[in-house]
């Protein structure tokens, strides 16, 4: 969910939106998404999109409550819904032929059994878990755009970033400030 230009957009408003988002983000192979689309019962993908939105909103609250501070061991208790999702995974590793023989004949690759539509939530859960484990929450911020709902990790040198995107929210804020200055002069 984002509000890039004053109108909220939910990319996962329904099952088809979720599948399109998963494909665009390259979290799930396109063939797996085609298979899930073909096998899904009526309404099943829409219910999955409901679960994805619930996961997103739960995680949004978790991040908002903790952004700007270091995570602590006590925060683990609040991550139980994410750990329950991750526990459903049928992931495994395998050895495959490496495309570039000069760097070695084989490579280790993680794979997953996509046993049900609910398994499509697992790569999302992995990304959320990696964010919690690898990101410094003292640098997580909410965009200062008045209608924007996005958050970001500020990796700039001085940690002074204010907007999710300079091209979107940052430019609008600067334009508004400029109009305000002009109005004040006139």
Residue-level pLDDT, tens digit, the chain, 186 residues? 666 566 778 899 999 999 999 999 999 999 999 999 999 999 999 999 999 999 999 999 999 999 999 999 999 999 999 999 999 999 999 998 877 656 678 888 889 999 999 999 999 999 999 999 999 999 999 998 888 888 999 999 999 999 888 887 877 777 777 777 888 786
Query: Residues with Cβ < 8 Å from 161, sequence gap 6 or more?
Result: 141, 152, 154
Q: Has this prediction a pTM greater than 0.95?
A: no
* 3-class SS of residue 91: strand
Count other C-beta atoms under 10 Å from residue 128's C-beta. Answer: 21
Q: Look at residue 145 in the predicted model and tell me its pLDDT.
A: 85
Structure token pair of residue 84: 């329950």
Task: Show the CA angle centred on residue 118, arms to residues 130 and 2, nearest 5°.
Answer: 60
d(CA 88, CA 86): 5
Res 186: pLDDT? 64
């Amino acid at each position: 969910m984002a509000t890039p230009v004053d109108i909220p957009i939910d990319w996962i408003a329904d099952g088809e939106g979720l599948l399109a988002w998963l494909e665009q983000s390259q979290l799930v192979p396109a063939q797996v998404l085609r298979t899930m689309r073909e096998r899904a019962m009526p309404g099943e993908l829409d219910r999955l999109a409901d679960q994805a939105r619930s996961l997103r909103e739960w995680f949004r609250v978790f991040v908002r409550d903790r952004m700007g501070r270091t995570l602590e061991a006590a925060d683990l208790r609040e991550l139980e819904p994410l750990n329950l999702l991750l526990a459903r995974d049928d992931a495994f590793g395998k050895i495959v032929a490496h495309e570039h023989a000069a760097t070695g004949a084989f490579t280790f690759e993680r794979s997953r059994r996509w046993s049900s539509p609910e398994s499509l939530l697992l790569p999302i859960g992995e990304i959320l878990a990696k964010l919690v484990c690898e990101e410094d929450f003292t640098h997580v911020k909410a965009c200062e755009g008045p209608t924007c709902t996005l958050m970001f990790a500020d990796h700039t040198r001085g940690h002074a970033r204010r907007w999710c995107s300079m091209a979107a929210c940052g430019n609008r804020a600067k334009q508004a400030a400029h109009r305000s200055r002009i109005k004040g002069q006139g």
